[in-house]
Amino acid sequence: MTALLLLALGAAPLESVMLDGFPFVQQKPDFCGEADVEMALRRLGRDVTQDDVFNVSGLDPLKGRGVWADSLRDALVNLGLNPGQVWYRARSTSDVDAQFRALHADLRAGTPSIVCMHYDDSPNTTEHFRLITGYDATTDELVYQEPAEANGANRRMKRDTFLALWPFKKSKEKWTVIRLRLEPKGQPPALVRPSSPTPAEVSQHVQKLKETLPAGSTLAWEKPFLVIGNEAPDTVRSRGKDVVRWTRDLLLKDFFEKAPSKLEEVWVFKDAKTYEHASRTLFATEPSTPYGYYLASRRAMVMNIRPGYGTLTHELVHPFMHENWPDGPAWLNEGLGSLFEFPGERDGHFVGQLNWRLPAVQAAIRDQTVPKLSELISTSDEAFYADESGVHYAMARYLCYWLQERGLLIRFVRRAQALKATDGSGAKALEEVLGGPPDTFQKQWETFVLGLKRHRS
């Protein structure tokens, strides 16, 4: 008798139920589940975006995709929602219908659901999350929010179509139905948003990058730098940790308050052949140097790592300068960059070592053609870069090196940034840390530089 009663109740017609007030949100690429959650939470008055949903999911952004059911479940729990069992076993259409009735019961109780289902019935269809917000008994249709399309609010789908698209059938006997309930659970936790670039931003960037990413590439993330290389995977990850992270951490420790707020690509190619090929095919650029260059149009450093990583550590300085002092003087920007072309660590601090630029400035000193320190500091960016002799770069580097060896460089760079609103050249800060006008130290600086022995690198 009980079994017959349950069977009769299971077959009972369902009544209409409509939940309203869902502000429609179109998904970003592959963020269908994330957009569904945003719509549901905005209905509850919570300021949560699809990016926030991804960020709290814990999914590795280097996978370059949106959340799947497991990560979406984690996100819901972290956002204070009860997603329920999520995965349900089914062996027949009657089992799937029973799950539909459970979904309907939740709608009647005011709880919408996200379902993972086939997008359509085409042979190469994809899996897709949709937000179920109602059922119309008069037409036997579900009402759902379709995040994949611009006009996707309050779409309708026949119940039999839904029941056909919902289950995933591994075999005739093993079906899985995926549903995540959106039931609030107690007081919602405070949402802590990470600084940019966020995991969601990285994921979206990697998705786009995959469209042209060369085969055999490995990605490593050292915020805000996305390292992309064609060496062995462990080697690429080591470049990220041992070069990029090391440089980033020491620059922040000594010289800069803020890391770059925009994602920066770091392309590390194993040799000249692949470096030159990628420059032409990926970046439509003919490299003017065998070492590497910065591509401002896409915030990308493109490097041939075979000669060493000096050009990389040089280029890594520039995003920090731009973030902390956007219109900082070229002499300091390039002076610091070139100082760290041959980097090292001394007592936990980032230091530059003697390198190939030394002969140029020593020759200029001996020829008495080297500019005054005040002239270098007051040189416009245009004039600095117009120097084809290399003296401006070399002089800026060895002025920074001199300050470093006197224990004044960190203090000077920090002070120059502090005074940037009233002194765009760094002259006041330099005079302050030296204890007098820079030109009064010209002879001392020249003597110091002439006494240096070139360290080949």
Residue 11's pLDDT is: 64
Which burial class, exposed, middle or buried, applies to 455 when counting CB atoms under 10 A from its CB (0-12, 13-18, 19+)?
exposed
Residue 10's pLDDT is: 54
Identity of the residue numbered 42: R
The answer to whether residues 446 and 453 touch, using CB atoms and an 8 Å cutoff, is no
Residue 6's pLDDT is: 37
Considering only CA atoms, which of 354, 384, 332, 368 is closest in space to residue 449? Answer: 354
**For the domain bounded by 212-324, which CATH number is listed?**
3.40.30.160
H/E segment holding residue 299: none
Considering only CA atoms, which of 199, 201, 265 is closest in space to residue 60? Answer: 199
Q: List per-block mean pLDDT (blocks of 10 residues) for the chain, which spans 457 residues.
A: 41 92 98 98 98 98 98 98 97 95 98 98 96 98 98 98 96 93 95 97 98 96 98 98 98 98 98 97 94 93 96 96 97 98 97 96 97 97 96 98 98 98 97 97 98 75
Residue 7's pLDDT is: 44
Homologous superfamily, domain 14-184 = Cysteine proteinases (3.90.70.10)
Domain ranges for the chain, please list them. Answer: 14-184, 212-324, 326-457
Tens digit of pLDDT for each residue in 183-240? 999 999 999 999 999 999 999 999 999 999 999 999 999 999 999 999 999 999 999 9
212-324 has the same fold as 14-184: no
Residue 304's pLDDT is: 97
CA dist list (Å): 115 to 69, 112, 417: 9, 10, 53
69 contacts: CB under 8 Å, gap ≥ 6: 33, 86, 87, 116, 178, 180
Residue 257's pLDDT is: 98
Distance CA 63, CA 456 (A): 41
Residue 172's pLDDT is: 83
Residue 455's pLDDT is: 58
H/E segment holding residue 187: none
DSSP string, 46-66: ----HHHHHHHHT--GGG-S-
Residue 216's pLDDT is: 95
Residue 454's pLDDT is: 78
